[in-house]
Structure 1
Amino acid sequence: MAAPIDRMGLLLVILLPVLFSISHAVDRSNFKTCDKSAFCKRQRDVKPGQSPYRALLETLELSNTRLTLQLINDNNKVRLLLELYRLQGNMTRVKINELKPLKPRYEVPDVLVKDPPTEPLSVLDRDENGVVLSLGADSQRLIISARPFRLDIVDGPNVLLSINSRGLLVFEQLRLRKDTISHKITSTVGSMWDKIKNVFSSKSETDSEGGEDVEQNVAEKGEEEEEAKEEEDQPGMWEETFKSHSDGKPNGPTSISLDFSFPGVEHVYGIPEHADTLKLKSTEGGDPYRLYNLDVFQYELNNPMALYGAVPVLLSHTAERTMGIFWLNAAETWVDIGSSASVQGGSEKSQTDVRWISESGIIDVFVMLGPRPTDVFSQYASLTGTQSFPPLAALAYHQCRWNYNDQEDVKAVDDGFDEHDIPYDFIWLDIEHTDGKRYFTWDPLKFSQPREMLQNLMDKKRKMVTIVDPHIKVDSGYKIHKEISSKGFYIKNKDGGDYEGWCWPGNAGYPDFTKPEMRAWWASMFAYDQYEGSMENLYTWNDMNEPSVFNGPEVTMHKDAVHGAWEHRDVHNLYGFYVQMATAQGLIQRSGGVERPFVLTRAFFAGSQRYGAVWTGDNAAEWGHLKMSIPMCLSLGLVGISFCGADVGGFFKTPSPELLVRWYQAGAYQPFFRAHAHLDTPRREPWLFGPENTALIREAVRQRYTLLPYWYQLFYHAHRTGQPVMRPLWVEYPENAATFAIEDEFLLGKDLLVHPVTDEGSRGVTAYLPGDGEVWYDVHTYKKHQGNQNLYIPVTMNSIPVFQRGGSVISRKERVRRSSLCMQDDPYTLYVAVSAQGTAEGELYIDDGHTFNYEKQQFIHRRLTFAEGTLSSSNLSPDSQFSTASWIERVVFMGVTKPNTATLRTADGSESALEFEFDPSSELLSLRKPGVNAGAEWTIQLR
């Protein structure tokens, strides 16, 4: 049990987040630096040099799909087991564990979608110095060097990646604590001396050799005791204190470290979540990047501090190749990044060195060898899954604050959107909607008729999200607490009792979501007869699931809390992953497996993309936070989590009208589009800043709604292929070094380039338009611009610089209504941006927008192509069965000359002439009312 707190202490705990919120910056002293983290400091004190590990080649065993080999540390003679796998899709898996640990070490479950399929391994060469293995793809090989141990992956003459080349493999083996060893030694020595006395009293001096042997044994035991003493002398190995919190470590030191070097690489990305640049910075002379899910209030920018989520995936990129490292470990992890030089082919190249340090577990690394960015995304998706396919409405606009006061407030806000003609799909309720912070409940006074409230929203084809957090109020009268407690589903403290900490309800228990039984029970609580007042248009938000513990170390759970056989330190970064998993499963189950869920989570890990959306947490109403939302979401997209957004307007503080407008304009072009604000901030519904700003916000939101068909298509592809929705320019232009560090603009898919205005008082922005020989069209003016240039764009307050790539076709719905569902059967407008070669290509994807029926081939998927003056629609999925009432009401061509005629031909052979308008100054051709069904076969010929 957590130590009791008096009333004043409780008040301080509850007010702690509010106190933080009015401070100017996060209190860094509440969070560890590497120097304050004992295992990180120990590992970082190990400097590059010759590794003490060597490979024992005589232990090598090779099956069809796996190579095993023992490694020995010549300093302490501890042996490790190395496992190597060649995986399908040009990947290599490296696992290192103790050969004979005192007890099992934690290996992360549930993150991989399946056991990765393997391919045969073969030995190409072997001698006393090492082994060469074929990796199948072209001339790729894996070289194992024996003394010192080292792995190199090479392609022809080039080294792609070296492992342990800097000698930073460190594997702290499980051991007995010194006082335990001393006790055993003392007992053994005492027993030995008793035997000696007995022997000496009954035998002659001629038998003294036996006594000398015993004395030697005693001396050896004494040496063991001295060796154990030396181990314990290092700080923090068996217990560690941070501020007032003590962390007992019954398993002792268990940390691991391994270094990776990328010859010829200067740009690396990934390892979110950090409020930092897209390109990862060198950590030499500063703290490493930290991966440890934490509740950080008003986080700082340009800082490697840990935030709410952790995805241990890093990508390297050059003009020649993209690769990835997936470090499958859920414990606290630090990532050091540095640079050095390597020599290849007689010339010196820059090199990026990456060192991973984790507190416990094993080394389990997936090397994704690309070679293209799209290949790395596919490789990672094959391991951890793809982005879940959200309901279409979830891609629309969400309105939230902490908190809407009551049902009348919800109705007033809902009516306000209609009054001001601003569409929205979801309204959100934060923690105050519950009965005393008891989740799955409603405040009996303020939200006494939740079904009536939800029905009113449903009548307008709108939806609601309520917050359901994983800290459970300890209250014997609360059903959720009673059931979790009676089933033994709470996390335990080190003494075996239920772990309790302080969070929003006061004293709270924390369910052990690592248990499948707990997750199944949690999922069952979302059933309509369990979550009283819920309906099919109610969805869920999981917050505070790092987990947040106000009176815990670093505002989170004690590491020596217990999840069955494992300590919390082993599983910490998985907790939010499991909470979202169980919640998503609950929303699916309540509909009998028919409806797609929508779940937003704050904490996440590798694989979280399978369960819903994330956001960038408690940001602030500052221009810097608006800017940082771009690289933060780009970084998440690179590691599989496409459904990302930032609180529009900033959670903390009060945005100026200008900042709020610019944030709406940026948010309208980011995947998750939600406004949110802190309890203590003034209300900021879109119509509260004067009619001029209301009009600007309305226009930004309407732009989002017109593009919903394109957003939905992008998410369909992300779900099918693992390709990111919002992506850096270098993903589509991997050979163009000018794109490698760009983070103030981005691509949606490959066809829309967005450069939000993120500077106060800006009168212009400079956008880089990539692509030699390509053209880009301003989507507002239709003006054509050449690629491979920096384009200065004058801006006013209504400017959102967006460009469509020449050679693309994008579908829009331009009849914007109050919600996305109201637009379901509305017609499409096709925007055909013609390339310099006179061609264009795109797609149109349609399904019911909310069920899993698309998995049963119930969808429409059309290819739209334009070449030689003919635009045609062909079926990409002939086996699919779905119909739509939507039709094509307009086709807009950009970059064409005026035709004499425009003729529509349908599948039945009929032809009809189409009316059109042409603007020669912008080369814009607009065809009116083709009138064909969106799922039909047709062509339009320009002559």
Structure 2
Amino acid sequence: MWWQLVAATALLSAARAVDRNNFKTCQQSSFCRRCRAVQEGRSPYKLLLDTLQADANSVHAHVVNTENSVLFTFQLYALTDDTFRFKINELSPLRPRYTVSQHVLDREPRLARLEVTERTPDYVVVTAGPNKVQLFGAPFRLDFYSHGTLVVSANARGLMRFEHLRSKPQQKEGEEGAADAAAPSQDAADTDPGAWEENFKSFHDTKEFGPEAVALDFSFVGAHRAYGIPEHADSFALKSTKNTDPYRLYNLDVFEYELHNPMALYGSIPFLVGHGEGHTAGVLWLNAAETWVDIANTVDQNVVSSIVSFVSGAASSPQVDAHFMSESGIVDVFVMLGPAPHDVFRQYTAVAGTTPLPQYFSIGYHQCRWNYNDQDDVRQVHGKFDEHDIPVDAIWLDIEHTDNKKYFTWDKVKFPDPTDMVHNLTAKGRKLVLIVDPHIKRDSNYFLHNDAESNGFYVKTKDGKDFEGWCWPGSSSYLDMFNPAVRQYYASRYRLDNFHGTTNDVHIWNDMNEPSVFSGPEVTMNKDCVHHGGWEHRDVHNVNGFMLNMASYEGLLERSNGKLRPFLLTRAFFVGSHRYTSVWTGDNMAEWGHLKITIPMCLSLSIAGFSFCGADVGGFFKNPDPELFVRWYQAGAFQPFFRTHSHIDTKRREPWLFDENTMSLIREAIRKRYSYLPYLYTLFYELETSGRPVMLPLWAEFPAETPTFDMDDQYLLGRSLLVHPVTDAGASTVSVYLPGADTLWYAVDSHQKYVGGGTVQIPVTMSSVPVFQRGGSILAKRERVRRAAILTLDDPFTLVVAVDRNNSASGTLYIDDGESFEYRKGKHLYLSFVFDGKKLTSRSLDAGQLPSRTWLERVVVLGWSSGAASALVESRSVGRVTVETTYDQASQTLTVRKPGVSMAEEWTVSLQ
């Protein structure tokens, strides 16, 4: 049957590099072709200033397309925290247009006071606090000013396009291609052969509602580079697309993706950050349809920006121009005015939400493979971790654990007693993670299929039938997660009395949720499929994975009656997905280039709100040699999500299957990760409370240092650690840029001190990873080796104090039970540490309280120029106690041994 041929072809594709012919170019996409063909400086759109009305928080007006007299509504809102939002929609559409904000925003944005401060025949100025927007009439343009400085301009290049909904042109007898009188006038959308139906390879896309693309350009004035719009396997700083396809945002299942091109991958976040020496700003293009983004950069092109020259009179200024083009929907844009990088990160997460604090185990090390063979295999694998004294927190099972790819079931031969398997793991402090994919096997003996079919829960074809595609189970249909009843039903599948063999210590992995359809166009669902509410799949494609994640998260939350934090991993994502799930970068390869690309890919995700990011350690496809494998473990140990994973056709690669030296180096990397878990956990807490990414580009902390703007090979983990993984074969040295002319940096292994403001050559061996602690920081570690993270929660802490030029430092530490939501009720500790050159002080930063047996085992002061005879420790429980110190002159390291104070109370340690 042809189904079998399609499946075989899909499986074979896993064994070779991606076939780009299976995926569209912009030229093969009719709406991208039309939008990209718009000429600069000829915008027909006019803001009718005489229709403008204002209230306390917004202004409203009409926009007209002067070529066809179609009217649009324009709304501009002032939001709190230096952010504006504007929407453009048809005034009288033939049917409603899809708005994705109803699903993905964390909450309704808080409005700020806005007032009209200037009116002229040509423009209107509205002001909100220190910011203003200048609205130009003809041609329509919006200029956004931050504290008097122009930072973002919309439609400055005149590339706006809004294809109004229209009736299909009817051919008159003898007149081929004549337009129907219902259409106000002809334009490119009326004559484009792909406007009403489109073919790609053997697939035919019927477009019942015709052309409905929207597009708009944005100029980031003063920006050297632009970043974001994940997901792409490309450089962190976005490249000019003048001679290439635009960056594409269209969630797709791409085997063995290529590096350094703008092809679409598994997820889409249409958020762009423009950064320059003096300012940072962000633009969120809130649209869930297929989207292409052109980038132009005056720094690369060595041309003077006409926008800057026209608006500000500047002779020369860097600028990044972006052009967003989407197939359907409306224009819904958030403009975040910074001015600093961390301001933009906060402003974005105020709209999209922050990541809830994950369970403590989830930031440990995860062991995964497609597939562990059976229950005995799982037992042996986690037993070997103990035998070789390597920490691990979760064992993962891929699709082969199920009964013939029927999710929420078990293969009864391979996994006859899954509850016992789970208990064997949890007895050692570990968890189990199971894969649950969105394709539902069409099998009359499968309860989930029968329930979905009888209740009408599947996505429909354009003809109203259940959509049927081909994926791992064979013939499959897909639950329509846009239907609230379907989401509620799906969430209920995770209840312990429904999902037999699971416990609250079993967590979930949503894969293939782009959705992947082996038999579909571009390996995904046909665009003319129909979802709940009558929305075509073309309208909602990029948010499909988000909806599955939301239902899965709710199911895991309800499973524990809201007590335990769910852990979930996804491949597909959209704006706001980070509120529910972690992410990995998909089907990479065991190659050095794929190791290198993990850094820019995760940085792009991090600045777009998705900090809980990692890559398949070792590469999903192919077999890594020992050197690559070790270097990937060392890199993964300092990324937020740390999991190894591999394809079913690769060699087994558990650490003990390599030689003793390789295994020892892997063990060392994993143990180092575990020593830093308190610091990482604190960063995740501060991510939830402040929106500050866990993984940061250097320019986030050193915004004026232009050498950092193009860096792809190093990053900051929080504000205190600079990480430069070794990503080249046979490397004996690594060039590390240490930012900040007045900043001190300390190698975390040798404690050697460096002065920032330039590049240093760091010798490396196979056991070394260039990681540096920032002078002026204090971070907490736990240095006792345990088999799993949860077993360390009562272990003592070591505080590493890295002094700055003033011999001072500060830092924070967050502690809770590691798994529940009780921390939101005040059952936690959030501590501040301050060292003033003589005295280290611990104080509580909030009213949180937590009975805790943890205590302070050691204080290590880096960069201390002379020894101290002793240290005086003072706290309520210990009183006043003098303890010993040691000093290493060579590394200028002072160690205070066993202060013994409880971390749950305030205390001081004074050097004598």
TM-score (ref. length: structure 2) = 0.97
What SS class does the counterpart of residue 297 from structure 1 fall into?
coil
In structure 2, runs of 5+ residues without a counterpart are 299-304
What SS class does the counterpart of residue 746 from structure 2 fall into?
strand
Question: Does the 8 A contact of 1:178 with 1:228 survive in 2?
Answer: no
Distance in 1 (alpha carbons) for counterparts of 2:771 and 2:179: 74
Distance in 1 (alpha carbons) for counterparts of 2:245 and 2:44: 26
Deviation at 1:844, TM superposition (A): 1.7
Render the CA deviation track for 1:60-105: whole Å, top value 9, x for unaligned.
1212222111111111111111111111111111100111111110
Cross-structure match for 2:411: 443
Question: Does the 8 A contact of 1:706 with 1:815 survive in 2?
Answer: yes
Distance in 2 (alpha carbons) for counterparts of 1:356 and 1:867: 50
Render the CA deviation track for 1:899-928: whole Å, top value 9, x for unaligned.
122111112582111112111111111111
Report the number of matched residues.
897
Distance in 1 (alpha carbons) for counterparts of 2:187 and 2:802: 73
Cα distance change of structure 1 residues 172 and 417 upon mapping to structure 2, 3 Å threshold: same
Render the CA deviation track for 1:772-805: whole Å, top value 9, x for unaligned.
2111111100111111121101111001111111
Cross-structure match for 2:521: 553
In structure 1, runs of 5+ residues without a counterpart are 1-5, 187-219
Render the CA deviation track for 1:290-335: whole Å, top value 9, x for unaligned.
0000000000000100000000000001111110000000000000
Superposed, which structure 2 residues align to 1:45-84 within 5 Å?
45-84=37-76
What SS class does the counterpart of residue 481 from structure 1 fall into?
helix
Cross-structure match for 2:302: none
Return the match for 2:500 from 532, 536, 539: 532
Matched, 1:330 2:293: no
Cross-structure match for 1:907: 876
What SS class does the counterpart of residue 914 from structure 1 fall into?
strand
Distance in 1 (alpha carbons) for counterparts of 2:184 and 2:118: 44
Cα distance change of structure 1 residues 222 and 754 upon mapping to structure 2, 3 Å threshold: closer
Distance in 2 (alpha carbons) for counterparts of 1:695 and 1:489: 51
Return the match for 1:744 from 713, 724, 730: 713
Question: Does the 8 A contact of 2:179 with 2:190 survive in 1?
Answer: no
Deviation at 1:148, TM superposition (A): 1.3
Return the match for 1:391 from 323, 342, 359: 359
Cross-structure match for 2:323: 355
Question: Does the 8 A contact of 2:549 with 2:580 survive in 1?
Answer: yes
Return the match for 2:669 from 696, 700, 706: 700
Superposed, which structure 2 residues align to 1:511-526 within 5 Å?
511-526=479-494
Superposed, which structure 2 residues align to 1:510-909 within 5 Å?
510-564=478-532, 565-877=534-846, 879-896=847-864, 897-907=866-876
Distance in 1 (alpha carbons) for counterparts of 2:455 and 2:183: 44
Q: Which segment drifts farther, 75-84 or 56-65?
A: 56-65
Question: Does the 8 A contact of 1:388 with 1:612 survive in 2?
Answer: no
Question: Does the 8 A contact of 1:275 with 1:301 survive in 2?
Answer: yes
Cross-structure match for 1:113: 106
Give the residue type in structure 2 aligned to 1:83: Q
Give the residue type in structure 2 aligned to 1:538: V
Give the residue type in structure 1 aligned to 2:69: K
Distance in 2 (alpha carbons) for counterparts of 1:315 and 1:845: 30
What SS class does the counterpart of residue 616 from structure 2 fall into?
coil
Matched, 1:236 2:232: no
Superposed, which structure 2 residues align to 1:397-546 within 5 Å?
397-546=365-514
Distance in 2 (alpha carbons) for counterparts of 1:228 and 1:738: 50
Question: Does the 8 A contact of 1:17 with 1:297 survive in 2?
Answer: no
Matched, 1:289 2:281: no
Question: Does the 8 A contact of 1:618 with 1:651 survive in 2?
Answer: yes
Question: Does the 8 A contact of 1:860 with 1:883 survive in 2?
Answer: no
Matched, 1:175 2:133: no
Question: Does the 8 A contact of 2:169 with 2:179 survive in 1?
Answer: no
Cross-structure match for 1:125: 118
Cα distance change of structure 1 residues 230 and 368 upon mapping to structure 2, 3 Å threshold: closer
Question: Does the 8 A contact of 1:178 with 1:229 survive in 2?
Answer: no
Distance in 2 (alpha carbons) for counterparts of 1:238 and 1:249: 5
Distance in 1 (alpha carbons) for counterparts of 2:293 and 2:769: 37
Larger Rg: 1
Question: Does the 8 A contact of 1:471 with 1:509 survive in 2?
Answer: yes
Question: Does the 8 A contact of 2:527 with 2:537 survive in 1?
Answer: yes
Distance in 2 (alpha carbons) for counterparts of 1:687 and 1:908: 46
Question: Does the 8 A contact of 2:797 with 2:855 survive in 1?
Answer: yes
Distance in 2 (alpha carbons) for counterparts of 1:237 and 1:10: 30
Question: Does the 8 A contact of 1:256 with 1:362 survive in 2?
Answer: yes
Cross-structure match for 2:204: 246
Matched, 1:304 2:262: yes
Render the CA deviation track for 1:113-142: whole Å, top value 9, x for unaligned.
1211112221111122121111321xx321
Superposed, which structure 2 residues align to 1:341-352 within 5 Å?
341=305, 342-343=308-309, 344-352=312-320
Which segments of structure 1 move beyond 4 Å, counting only runs of 4 or more? 220-231
Matched, 1:39 2:31: yes
Cross-structure match for 2:341: 373
Deviation at 1:157, TM superposition (A): 5.9
What SS class does the counterpart of residue 78 from structure 2 fall into?
strand
Distance in 2 (alpha carbons) for counterparts of 1:866 and 1:267: 37
Cα distance change of structure 1 residues 148 and 694 upon mapping to structure 2, 3 Å threshold: same
Cross-structure match for 2:11: 18
Question: Does the 8 A contact of 1:399 with 1:676 survive in 2?
Answer: yes
Give the residue type in structure 1 aligned to 2:106: V
Cα distance change of structure 1 residues 155 and 917 upon mapping to structure 2, 3 Å threshold: closer
What SS class does the counterpart of residue 709 from structure 1 fall into?
helix
Cα distance change of structure 1 residues 148 and 408 upon mapping to structure 2, 3 Å threshold: same
What SS class does the counterpart of residue 735 from structure 1 fall into?
coil
TM-score (ref. length: structure 1) = 0.93
Cross-structure match for 1:199: none
Question: Does the 8 A contact of 2:105 with 2:351 survive in 1?
Answer: yes
Cα distance change of structure 1 residues 517 and 47 upon mapping to structure 2, 3 Å threshold: same
Deviation at 1:264, TM superposition (A): 2.2
Give the residue type in structure 1 aligned to 2:319: Q
Cα distance change of structure 1 residues 225 and 638 upon mapping to structure 2, 3 Å threshold: closer
Deviation at 1:549, TM superposition (A): 0.2
Question: Does the 8 A contact of 2:217 with 2:321 survive in 1?
Answer: yes
Distance in 2 (alpha carbons) for counterparts of 1:716 and 1:231: 49
Cross-structure match for 2:301: none
Render the CA deviation track for 1:600-636: whole Å, top value 9, x for unaligned.
0000000011002000000000000000000000110
Cα distance change of structure 1 residues 223 and 643 upon mapping to structure 2, 3 Å threshold: closer
What SS class does the counterpart of residue 372 from structure 2 fall into?
coil
Distance in 1 (alpha carbons) for counterparts of 2:770 and 2:147: 44
Question: Does the 8 A contact of 1:177 with 1:228 survive in 2?
Answer: no
What SS class does the counterpart of residue 103 from structure 2 fall into?
coil
Question: Does the 8 A contact of 2:166 with 2:182 survive in 1?
Answer: no
Question: Does the 8 A contact of 2:609 with 2:693 survive in 1?
Answer: yes
Query: Percent identity over the alignment?
Result: 52
Distance in 2 (alpha carbons) for counterparts of 1:371 and 1:903: 44
Give the residue type in structure 2 aligned to 1:163: A
Distance in 1 (alpha carbons) for counterparts of 2:180 and 2:579: 55
Deviation at 1:233, TM superposition (A): 2.7
What SS class does the counterpart of residue 915 from structure 1 fall into?
strand
Distance in 2 (alpha carbons) for counterparts of 1:694 and 1:414: 15
Matched, 1:148 2:139: yes
Cα distance change of structure 1 residues 561 and 310 upon mapping to structure 2, 3 Å threshold: same
Q: Which segment drifts farther, 78-87 or 659-668?
A: 78-87
